[in-house]
Structure 1
């Protein structure tokens, strides 16, 4: 277990945490998940980042259960999931070990550079999606890397997106497959996170308050998804990858400079 300070139940803490959970839930509804790290900077304003990770772990499961109302089995690419999920589960196990022994800053920098290269190649190609056939080795690698990064930093989105975006799936199947992938991942990593960061009673109270942000956030995100066409959704995903990568890069570099 890692000793972390409990979140203080001030008005500012509750408002910021509520806004962060709403934002993550919104992204969950719009894109199926994978961009939880975007809400971490908000939470880090009012609490330790590791405490924030422990706070979010159970809330992710609540988001997943609510999102299943929208991303039904008809939106899942089952052949891709069969190849992705084993690597995800193994990656979470590896991530649990790496969380305790490796430098998180180095992991963040490597993940950021790989993601920026991927997006850079997309821009260099004119912003078009090159559809690639289903690949078991690539899917296993994506699942494994996503499992490690989601366990270490709640940033499993980029590895999965790099694989699924290249598959040229319809926007509904892309979001539905992403949603189920992280439903499995979040359920798997919840216990390891709670073992690493044992929440205090004030943390559980804050989680309960944040639950009310989830239904509206997921629903509004899902409504946005319906308004975006295929090309707009893919552009938005690539744009979010850049934001996520820059956040990871900043976390890694600033950690060394601090």
Structure 2
């Protein structure tokens, strides 16, 4: 188990905010988690420690949200996302996370620019949806960074608040289950990492419950505003980190 105090200084808020995202408030809030923890350990180990926690958070979030999932939308996303997971499995440990960051950051800002500057709704073509779903599966496997592409796919559909949150929750629960295979194959789900994950479970639980509670008091309009805002913040952060190195 990791005993470095600075690891936990970074990991506790990272896990808490990821849990809030899983609970439904800003589904891409957890984008900051891997970079934050990676300030104290390697990015791959940070992602490996987070993965079991994500699976536990998924179970908790599914209890609250699964009944509202738009399964038709989910079925259109999962096949391409699965391909993305498989492709990413061959690059894990060798592809610099900064490469993934600048690609996703650039796409996120282009998406926001198209919507708010050009005043034109982003395209909703099926081919674009498949590409974004595949990119989400790929980025999620490399660095748990699949949130922005999935958000770019779902936001233009203007689903009801409950469906938007629930579809994201079920989608990433499925992805995280798949990701256990390549992480286990690489030996990253070892005793030390799993024990460290176990210590952080209470923080994950508190984060998810906080997110679920906030969803009940926030309007649909504000859920979408928060999602766009977090997409902007993470897009800028990822683009800058990808170009200039991890910040």
TM-score under structure 1 normalisation?
0.86
For each residue in 1:167-193, what CA deviation from the matched residue of structure 2 results, as whole angstroms up to 9, or x when unmatched?
A: 010111100000000000010012212
Q: Which segments of 5 or more consecutive residues in structure 1 lack a partner in the other structure?
A: 1-6
CA RMSD in angstroms, aligned pairs only? 2.4
Offset of residue 18 of structure 1: 2.5
What is the CA–CA distance in structure 1 between the aligned matches of 2:81 and 2:7, rounded to whole Å?
A: 32
For each residue in 1:113-161, what CA deviation from the matched residue of structure 2 results, as whole angstroms up to 9, or x when unmatched?
A: 11101112222256xx94976x532332221111111111211011111
The answer on whether the counterparts of 2:16 and 2:207 sit within 8 Å (CA) in structure 1 is: yes
Find the counterpart in structure 2 of residue 3 from structure 1: none
Offset of residue 54 of structure 1: 0.8
Match of 1:225 among 191, 215, 225: 215
The answer on whether the counterparts of 1:61 and 1:187 sit within 8 Å (CA) in structure 2 is: yes
Match of 1:10 among 4, 23, 38: 4
Matched, 1:157 2:147: yes
- Which stretch shifts more, 95-104 or 162-171? 95-104
Matched, 1:185 2:179: no
TM-score under structure 2 normalisation?
0.90
Query: What SS is found at the alignment partner of 1:69?
Result: helix
Find the counterpart in structure 2 of residue 81 from structure 1: 74
Match of 2:99 among 94, 100, 106: 106
Counterparts of 1:92-103 in structure 2, within 5 Å, are: 92-100=85-93, 102-103=95-96
Counterparts of 1:19-38 in structure 2, within 5 Å, are: 19-31=13-25, 33-38=27-32
The answer on whether the counterparts of 1:32 and 1:179 sit within 8 Å (CA) in structure 2 is: no
What is the CA–CA distance in structure 1 between the aligned matches of 2:111 and 2:81, rounded to whole Å?
A: 20
For each residue in 1:22-80, what CA deviation from the matched residue of structure 2 results, as whole angstroms up to 9, or x when unmatched?
A: 1100111024744422112331232222210111111110000011111022x111111
Q: How many residues align?
A: 247
- Which stretch shifts more, 143-152 or 43-52? 43-52
1:29–1:187 CA distance, 2 compared to 1 (3 A)? same
1:10–1:102 CA distance, 2 compared to 1 (3 A)? closer
The answer on whether the counterparts of 1:27 and 1:218 sit within 8 Å (CA) in structure 2 is: yes
- Which stretch shifts more, 166-175 or 227-236? 227-236
What is the CA–CA distance in structure 1 between the aligned matches of 2:180 and 2:61, rounded to whole Å?
A: 17
- Which stretch shifts more, 12-21 or 238-247? 12-21
Match of 2:37 among 40, 43, 61: 43
Find the counterpart in structure 2 of residue 202 from structure 1: 192
- Which stretch shifts more, 9-18 or 54-63? 9-18
Match of 1:64 among 58, 61, 64: 58
The answer on whether the counterparts of 1:130 and 1:168 sit within 8 Å (CA) in structure 2 is: no
Q: Which segments of 5 or more consecutive residues in structure 2 lack a partner in the other structure?
A: none
